[in-house]
Amino acid sequence: MSRIASILLPLPLPEAFDYAEPEGMELSVGDQVAAPLGPNLMRGVVAALRDGAGVNRPLKSVQARLDDPALPPKTLEFVQWAARYAVDAPGQPLAIALRGARAPKAKPHKVVELTGRAPARATPARTKVLEAAAAAALPPAELARAAGVSGGVVKGLLDDGVLAVRTIAPAADFEMPDPHRAGQTLSASQAAAADALRDLVRAGGFQVALLDGVTGSGKTEVYLEAAAEALGADPTAQVLILLPEIALTQAVIARVATRFAAQPGEWHSDVAPPARRRVWEGVLSGGCRIVVGARSALFLPFRNLKLVVVDEEHDGSFKQEEGFIYHARDLAVARGKIEGAGVVLASATPSLESLRNAETGRYHWLKLAARHGTARLPEIGLVDLRETPPESGRWLSPPLVAAMGETLLRGEQVLLFLNRRGYAPLVLCKACGQRMTAPDTDSWLVEHRYSGRLVCHLTGFSMPKPAACPHCAAKDSLVSIGPGVERVEEEARSLFRQARVAVFSSDTVFDAREAKRLVETMAAGEIDVLVATQAAAKGHNFPKLTLVGVVDADLGLRGGDLRAAERTYQLLAQATGRAGRRDRPGRALLQTYLPDHAVMQALAAQDREAFVAAEMGERELAGLPPFGRLAAVIASDVDAQRLEEFCRAMAEVAPNTPGVEVYGPADAPLSLVRGRRRKRFLVRADRSVDLSAYMAAWRARVRPKGATRVAIDIDPYSFL
């Protein structure tokens, strides 16, 4: 035998598999190959090659080397690093890295167009087709469907030369960005930060900068200058901009396209598979030089990555909670280190982790103090709901309603912020007191009035709202408890009958295009009151928005987990920062039952430093992040007994290591999900401990049986 190729497959397998390299194939590390697995052929990547002399066991042979270029060695290194860090199988991040490779290629497609020739014979059916063809260029079958006629009518018009078929080729190469175009005029504060970032990029190598600037201070323009420097200095350099929400991508893509006169690659779950394939191939070939995308863009096979920007770096959506569990901000820093690239973390409310790294000098700290242009920070007031509660069955307090009235009278806009989808978070029976829950999950069902359904936000389970209580059969006994955005919308409509009210949540805005449309409608002043979840709290500029009302400022504090206060501060600072842009002063009102809480006081005083100092102090005392590290083990099983035994066994073999404390097992707060019982361990470690290695060693000591599943979450954000 000549050589053995160790092939990494995009599957949750603990390690790479060995295959024989066929004579003459001459594989290299990173090559993409087809390898037999059971009866199938799978795409895999050569992770290592070694001499096969002395190996006697029979090995299957690599079937073929694929046409796609080899994965760059640093991409492969990153995939393996990420797996080790997350204590998961390397095939999991590899599957994300190969996602674009498995998408179908774009094909040329045919559309029908008018030729300008008049039909010899006009019929009502033919007229409908001509009208539909004038409205949009569609493929023949879709045109017939759009016109509501049979395919024969379209064919007849094609035969007569009234319509013609045109073939549209798939999009060609990516446009080359022009880094030498002039950017926007920067304020003094922006210019200073941009200079610092340019120096950092020019120096080259791995460095991290925290770009810390209040809402509206113009961070995007600043990091685009760093991108221009990277792209201009090296004709093959690539830049990645990561965003937490798909809703934000369109705005950032438009700004990148304007700045560099080239459309960047777009990467997120809404991008159609052929377009994804195009970005993946463009990134791998080096032709796609700027990518704007969601967290999984981090795994794209970049050839020469020189700059990674993580915008809104504090945002919890960067944490992937299912499947391969990772935090994109942390992995972005790791990828930057492996690639020798600069990393920019941008936020108006940086995470405590990043602030700590900036304070200790591990990150460069660039502060943007002044607001861009002439806009001023909003005035923030607390509405004490104990003093001025809303009327019974209502959620907007008299002071907020009065402020809304004044704002609307001036022809300005109101944003009501409530981070809760649907109509009511809880439905219960007033006859028997039973709460409506999902059948196989112990979470409450959320009422959605638009769809008339009760929905489990955790699993997606839904059912029509029953007419009678499923438990006691009482008729019309179900009552909706508490508000969601739909209910606040209803209240706003009833209070201000003339106002145009709209809802922005993931139930009303399904994709990037719909988000863009709603944002444009709001920006154009065609909405008076926008009721929104956090989807609208970020990044958008609405010049006529001068009042932000936070319906339930205490909502995020109720869970009481490690980051509850930090998250609440960040979210509400972002939401209230929407008020008042350009020359109009803004105002924000926070409805709270906890006006004395440190978070509310810090928000009202706009004193981030005091809040951060207090929060850091508490974390340091408890040895919690960023002063210590956490990991969670989530074990689950359909069989409660077997789960119990597994957790007991796991607890017994926890390695005894100085600086590490293991808590649990305990029932998870969500103790039943999709029919599986769940238990959790929490591990706290000093910063000096290699927590990933500790977790890997622990898990190796006990093997789950039957349907028991174990997931490890390094630096958990969810404690449910």
DSSP state of 232: H
User: Quick one: which of 366, 328, 7, 9 has its CA closest to 200?
Assistant: 366
CA 177 → CA 227, 662, 696, distances in Å?
A: 10, 51, 44
The one among 194, 429, 436, 529 contacting Zn ion by CB under 5 A: 429
Task: Name which position in 370, 431, 499, 594 contacts Zn ion (CB under 5 A).
Answer: 431
Calpha distance 128→134 (Å, rounded): 10
Token couple for 208: 């991290």
The one segment of 204-212, 378-386, 430-438, 701-709 that binds Zn ion by CB under 5 A: 430-438
Distance, in Å, from the CA atom of 706 to the CA atom of 636, rounded to the nearest integer, reads 11
Euclidean distance between CA atoms 307 and 229, whole angstroms = 10
CB atoms under 10 Å from CB of 110, counted, come to 12
From 215-223, 246-254, 425-433, 506-514, span contacting Zn ion (CB under 5 A): 425-433
Q: How far is the CB of 454 from Zn ion (least distance, A)?
A: 14
Between 35 and 436, name the residue whose CB sits nearer to Zn ion: 436
Compare residues 398 and 433 and give the one whose CB is closer to Zn ion: 433
Q: Considering CB under 5 A, how many residues would be counted as binding Zn ion?
A: 8
* Closest to Zn ion by CB, 190 or 477: 477
Closest CA to 308 of 288, 329, 326, 324: 329
Question: For residue 461, how many other CB atoms are within 10 A of its CB?
Answer: 18
472 contacts Zn ion (rule: CB under 5 A): yes
Q: Are strands 3-8 and 709-714 parallel, antiparallel or unpaired?
A: unpaired
Measured CA to CA, the distance from residue 247 to residue 253 in angstroms comes to 11
Of 468 and 670, nearer to Zn ion (C-beta) is 468
Instruction: Work out whether 432 is an interface residue with Zn ion (CB under 5 A).
Output: yes
| Sequence-distant (≥ 6) Cβ neighbours of residue 557 within 8 angstroms | 564, 565, 568, 594, 597, 599
Which lies closer to Zn ion via its Cβ, residue 64 or residue 479? 479
State which residue, 430 or 582, has the beta carbon closest to Zn ion: 430
Residues 214-243 as x/- pattern, contact with Zn ion by CB under 5 A: ------------------------------
User: Residue 423 Cβ, how far from Zn ion at the closest point, in Å?
Assistant: 19
Rounded least distance, CB 440 to Zn ion, Å:
20
Residue closer to Zn ion by CB (options 261, 479) is 479
Distance CA(300)–CA(94), nearest Å, equals: 10
First CA to last CA across the chain, in angstroms? Answer: 52
Q: How far is the CB of 45 from Zn ion (least distance, A)?
A: 57
- Judged on CB neighbours under 10 Å (0-12, 13-18, 19+), 508 is buried
Q: What is the DSSP letter of 689?
A: S
Please, what is the minimum distance in Å from the beta carbon of residue 432 to Zn ion?
A: 3
With 0-12 CB in 10 A as exposed, 13-18 as middle and 19+ as buried, what is 289?
Answer: buried
Name the E strands within 487-543: 501-504, 529-532
| Residue whose CB is less far from Zn ion, 228 or 427 | 427
Closest to Zn ion by CB, 188 vs 467, is: 467
* Interface stretch with Zn ion, choices 465-473, 643-651, 671-679, 688-696 (CB under 5 A): 465-473
Is residue 492 classed as helix, strand or coil in its secondary structure? Answer: helix
**Residue 428 is a binding residue for Zn ion (CB under 5 A):** no
Minimum CB distance to Zn ion smaller for 428 or for 660: 428
To Zn ion, the closest distance from the beta carbon of 479 in angstroms equals 11
186, two tokens: 């920067």
Contact 610, 617 (CB under 8 A): no
Min separation Cβ 443 and Zn ion, Å: 19
Of 203-211, 222-230, 468-476, 661-669, the window that binds Zn ion (rule: CB under 5 A) is 468-476
Contact range with Zn ion by CB under 5 A, out of 71-79, 463-471, 512-520, 656-664 = 463-471
Segment lying near Zn ion (by CB under 5 A), choices 264-272, 293-301, 473-481, 658-666: 473-481
Please, what is the minimum distance in Å from the beta carbon of residue 247 to Zn ion? Answer: 39
- If you search the block for the tokens 């065609």, which residue do you land on? 526
Stretch near Zn ion under the rule CB under 5 A, chosen from 340-348, 396-404, 433-441, 710-718:
433-441
Residues 180 and 350 sit within 8 Å (Cβ to Cβ): no
Nearer to Zn ion, 454 or 660 (CB): 454
Nearer to Zn ion, 397 or 477 (CB): 477
The binder of Zn ion chosen from 247, 469, 530, 531 (CB under 5 A) = 469
Residue 436 interacts with Zn ion (CB under 5 A): yes or no: no
Pick one of 84, 471, 493, 709: the residue that binds Zn ion (CB under 5 A): 471
Please answer whether residues 662 and 618 qualify as being in contact, where contact means their C-beta atoms are separated by less than 8 angstroms.
no
Whether the Cβ atoms of residue 703 and residue 471 lie closer than 8 Å to each other: no
- Chain residues binding Zn ion by CB under 5 A are 429, 431-432, 434, 469, 471-472, 474
